Amino acid sequence: MRISAALAAVLLAASVSSLAGGARAAEPLRVCLNDHDAPRSDKEAGKGFDLELMGLVADRLGRPLEPVWIDSDPKMTDIDDTDLPLKNLVKRECDAVASIPGEMALHGTHDLLALTRPYYGVGFELVGPAGLPNDLASLKGRKVSVQNVSVANMVAVRLGLDWTAQTTTKAQLETLDGGRAQAALVWGPDLGPLGRKPKAGYMPPVALRWNEHVATRKADEALRTSIDGALADLTASGKVTELLTKYGVPAHAPFETVFSQQELAAIQPPRN
């Protein structure tokens, strides 16, 4: 039975409308990103580990990525530049924030946020010349450059090391390169933008390492489960490691144990 041209036109229009409605149903995945936070995110350069990885996550969810750029001061020192855009997530300005170092980072969000499973690990890395021991306790007698009032600074104090403190990673490395220190404990992700690598064979001790997660609002359980699945696929394919390496971030799989106040308190100076 032949369909009239008029009826065919109506059916075609309805089909196009239905397809358009389906396209509209794919809401963007809005991810809050600091605009000056290399290697995680850099608005001006249009790149960053978090930006690129969350784009791949969005692809696997069948949603376009929509970066929500949060103003951050590029002149802030590393010690000041610790604000994660979690308040923006609470305010529903975005759906997710990446690279969140554990539950302690959610303090002050009034139990409104939750984390995915961890998908990579970070820590304070050891930088120094060949022959430098990998065991931090064995650094006694050497000047160690640390970030002022960081956990690495606290560990150096508890180990009884001879330390010198700077406010930026760049200043730490300048102290090392200028011979005013023989080793540096540097926040791993900061090494990428500065083109430096950690000492081969070193593994951050438990008190100097964290696992990174994606944060969502606690009520968005389905989204969090979907992001977990996407991250698991990207980890299994090697893409997470590939991107970490691309941006110069020491590539650690999630650690079994990470920083806690108890681990910090357990550090004791070596016996003579």
Q: Number of helices (H) and strands (E), helices first, in the chain? A: 9, 11
The CATH number of 27-121+208-261 is which of 2.40.50.100, 3.40.190.10, 3.40.50.2000, 3.20.20.450? Answer: 3.40.190.10
- State the pLDDT at residue 20: 47
DSSP 252: B
Fold entry, domain 124-207: D-Maltodextrin-Binding Protein; domain 2 (3.40.190)
CB atoms within 10 A of CB 169: 23
Cα–Cα distance for residue pair 26/99, rounded to 1 Å: 25
Residues whose CB is less than 8 angstroms from the CB of residue 92 and which lie 6 or more positions away in sequence, other chains included? 217
Residue 174 has pLDDT above 60, yes or no: yes
Q: 46 pLDDT exceeds 70?
A: yes
pLDDT tops 90 at residue 260: yes
- Reported as a single tens digit per residue, the pLDDT across 4-27 is 444 444 344 444 444 444 445 689
Q: How far apart are the C-alpha atoms of 24 and 227, rounded to whole Å?
A: 21
CB 110 within 8 A of CB 91: no
* Residue 263 in this model has a pLDDT that exceeds 50: yes
Which residue ranges does the chain devote to CATH 3.40.190.10? Answer: 27-121+208-261, 124-207
User: What's residue 269's pLDDT?
Assistant: 83
**pLDDT in the model for residue 75:** 57
Residues 243, 245, 249, 252, CA torsion sign: positive
Q: Got the DSSP string for 89-156?
A: HHTTS-SBEEEE-SGGGGTTSTT-EEE----EEEEEEEE--TT--SSGGGGTTSEEEEETTSHHHHHH
What's the mean pLDDT when you consider all of the chain? Answer: 90
Query: What SS3 state is found at 36?
Result: strand
pLDDT of 93-149, one tens digit each?
Answer: 999 999 999 999 999 999 999 999 999 999 999 999 989 999 999 999 999 999 999
Q: What pTM, to 2 d.p., does this model score? A: 0.87
Which of the four pLDDT bands, split at 50, 70 and 90, describes residue 82? Answer: low
**Predicted pLDDT of residue 272:** 64
